[in-house]
């Protein structure tokens, strides 16, 4: 078994790929080795893996129903036999609510990560490749969005759309796409004047095919790094909206809303707000650590990757 794995390793590390598939697999394996060598990135990846596992197996891991109220057990401190992280003002188990709250956090992160980068990639590549008035109009729209602080703009959108987790996701996505558009435009301006793009154009390829088949793949790596690094900001924005009562609505166990509920008791019963706050801090730090590691692996301008 070990000799077989050694042979596979040698095949993946070969300097002369036998096929396009071999080259892709070798690049992925070398990238994984680079990422694995970054211990802080692996810690971040481990925390995110735990978060995903917690969200998937929440019904099995939660010791109590996160929605059941027990006023006889309200404000129990940490270390209580039945409530490890204590209870809130309505007697609900904080640990169970945090476990179920991981589902809401991942739901928001996943939806924003699917909407904002794709919208930014589309706007940025079209703007950079088309140039002229198209570029001017699209970039001025982008500048308008960039002129407002993200949370303030998200608050304005949520106020117009109405409170709720779906509207919060849409508001965060609408405020998160401009940096991706700027990045994609910069990459496109560099790529579109290259010789191989000119050769493809001479072969009869249209603008749409050039953008989708040849420009987008070269922008993806930078976009992935930026998305990972932006996850902390997205989590904080979602928690901020939840804290202000504009995100997930009660009795949803959203971490920002849990902090809002516990802020009145922060001096006497500090664990109510501190525990979800630590969860937000830990997950945000994990995405930042992983983003730094992915930047070392995927940054095409880094000669060591």
Q: Give 70's Cβ-side CA count (13 Å radius).
A: 16
For residues 85 and 98, the answer to whether their CB atoms sit within 8 Å is yes
Q: Write down the pLDDT at residue 133.
A: 92
Pairwise CA distance, residues 248 & 100, whole Å: 13
Instruction: Tell me phi and psi for residue 269, to 5 degrees.
Output: -130, 65
CA 146 to chain centre: 19
Q: What pLDDT score does 304 carry?
A: 41
From 46, 118, 110, select the one nearest 238 (Cα to Cα): 110
Fold of 38-57+93-298: MetI-like fold (1.10.3720)
**Of the candidates 67, 113, 68, which has an alpha carbon nearest to the alpha carbon of residue 254?**
67
Q: What is the pLDDT of residue 279?
A: 93
Residue 163 three-state SS: coil
Confidence (pLDDT) at 1: 47
| pLDDT the model gives residue 179 | 92
Instruction: Give the global pTM.
Output: 0.85
Burial of 104 (0-12, 13-18, 19+ CB in 10 A): buried
Residues in the chain: 305
Pick the closest to residue 171 from 250, 248, 226, 258 (CA basis). Answer: 248
Q: In the chain, which stretches have pLDDT less than 50?
A: 1, 300, 302-305
């Amino acid at each position: 078994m070990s000799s077989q794995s050694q042979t596979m390793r040698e095949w993946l590390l070969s300097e002369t790929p036998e096929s396009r598939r071999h080259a892709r697999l070798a690049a992925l394996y070398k990238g994984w080795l680079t990422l694995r060598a970054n211990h802080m990135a692996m810690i971040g990846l481990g925390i995110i893996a735990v978060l995903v596992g917690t969200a998937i197996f929440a019904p099995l891991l939660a010791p109590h129903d996160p929605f059941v109220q027990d006023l006889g057990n309200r404000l129990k401190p940490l270390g209580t036999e039945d409530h490890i992280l204590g209870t809130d003002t309505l007697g609900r188990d904080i640990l169970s609510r945090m476990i179920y709250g991981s589902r809401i956090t991942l739901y928001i992160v996943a939806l924003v990560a699917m909407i904002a980068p794709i919208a930014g990639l589309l706007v940025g590549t079209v703007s950079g490749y088309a140039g002229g008035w198209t570029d001017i109009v699209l970039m001025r729209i982008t500048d308008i969005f960039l002129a407002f602080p993200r949370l303030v703009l998200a608050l304005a959108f949520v106020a117009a759309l109405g409170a709720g987790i779906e509207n919060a996701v849409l508001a965060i996505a609408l405020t998160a796409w401009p940096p991706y558009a700027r990045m994609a435009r910069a990459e496109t301006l560099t790529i579109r004047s290259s010789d191989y793009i000119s050769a493809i154009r001479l072969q009869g390829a249209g603008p749409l095919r050039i953008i989708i088949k040849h420009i987008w793949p070269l922008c993806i790596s930078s976009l992935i790094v930026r998305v990972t690094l932006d996850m902390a900001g997205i989590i904080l924005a979602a928690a901020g909206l939840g804290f202000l009562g504009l995100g997930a609505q009660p009795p949803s166990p959203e971490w920002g809303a849990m902090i809002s509920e516990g802020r009145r008791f922060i001096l006497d019963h500090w664990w109510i707000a501190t525990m979800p706050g630590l969860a937000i801090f830990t997950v945000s730090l994990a995405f930042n650590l992983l983003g730094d590691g992915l930047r070392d692996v995927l940054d095409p301008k880094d000669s060591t990757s």
